[in-house]
Amino acid sequence: MRKKRISVAIPASIVSDVPHLREKTSKVGLIGRAAAIFRIDEIIVYPDNPHVNQVADVNLIATLLAYMETPQYLRKTLFKLKPELRYAGILPPLRTPHHPLNRRIRNLKIGEYREGVTVSTTKKGMLVDVGVEQPALIPNRRLLIGKRVTVKITKVNKRVEVELANRDEIPQYWGYTVTVEKHSFGKMVKSRGFNLTIATSKYGVPFADVAEKIAEKLRKANNILVAFGAPTQGLYEIVEYEGLNLEDIVDFVVNTIPMQGTETVRTEEALIASLAILNMHFCL
């Protein structure tokens, strides 16, 4: 099981160049899929243009990503009707281990992990919807109703029993979390305490030239950030708003798509290309 925590940072403006909610939803869907494919632990959505109010775009991206990450059987409970989810039906399924297809008690296995949401309390404990015919019981526990929890199956009879579990103990990839960052990119990098920060840019050093240096620092790092800019303004331009030089605030500025054939590379395209290269070289 991977002990390193991998975060990616994406700008709010990734949806600003597409006018319709349907296309915005499709773009965010590609990002969520890429994050799941490469086992990303956290997606950070940060504001990248201080001259524009980006609250609506940040909230849209975060809502869609969180909706994608939530198992299908919990979505109606955890997400009320929202305008942002009007086209959620076109979001691609993640098909990660925490999105099981099994909806039958008889197919549950002791030791299996599930995501659930607390639905009610009884004298015996807390009832949790884990996506099967009847709620499971957490014996002798009281939790807030409507709380999302990770549980481990401990007994499968007429009543399924479970215990609370820590996501860190699960040996499989268990999805990503979504963080809405209120601070600018530079402040976020400085405050979060990452052990290794990699910024992607067409003006960066070719990946092959710094792969060994990244590998050396990666061996000691357990909290890693891979950051992306927007097609209209890269990370160099984004941090200029703060009066900063990108090379002064990150460990590496890397070009993962040398000799690109297009004038710009979309953030979702850069995400897939960059994570594929990092995964191939370092088995992230």
- Assigned domain for 38 exists: yes
Q: Are residues 273 and 217 in the same domain?
A: yes
Asked if 156 and 212 sit in the same domain, the reply is no
Among 277, 181, 194, which Cα is nearest to 238's? Answer: 181
The answer as to whether 245 is a domain residue is yes
User: Over the stretch 230-281, which tens digit does the pLDDT of each residue have?
Assistant: 978 999 999 999 999 999 999 999 999 998 999 888 999 999 999 999 999 9
Residues 245 and 142 reside in one and the same domain: no
Q: How confident is the model over 172-182, as a mean pLDDT?
A: 96
Report the range out of 31-35, 52-56, 141-145 with the highest average pLDDT: 31-35
Instruction: Give the structural domain span for 114.
Output: 105-167
CATH of the domain at 124: 2.40.50.140
Angle between helices 55-69 and 21-37 (to 10 degrees): 50
pTM of the model: 0.94
Q: Is residue 100 part of a domain?
A: no
In angstroms, rounded to a whole number, what is the distance separating the alpha carbons of residues 38 and 34?
6
Residues 151 and 182 in one domain: no
Residue with more model confidence, 18 or 73:
73
Q: Please, what is the average pLDDT of the chain?
A: 94
Q: Total structural domains in the chain?
A: 2
CATH label of the domain that carries residue 82: 3.40.1280.10
Predicted pLDDT of residue 233: 92
Final residue of a structural domain among 167, 185, 200: 167
| DSSP structure class, residue 183 | S
Q: What is the pLDDT of residues 119-140, one digit of tens each?
A: 999 999 999 999 999 999 999 9
Co-location of 12 and 87 in the same domain = yes
- Domain shared by 226 and 128, yes or no: no
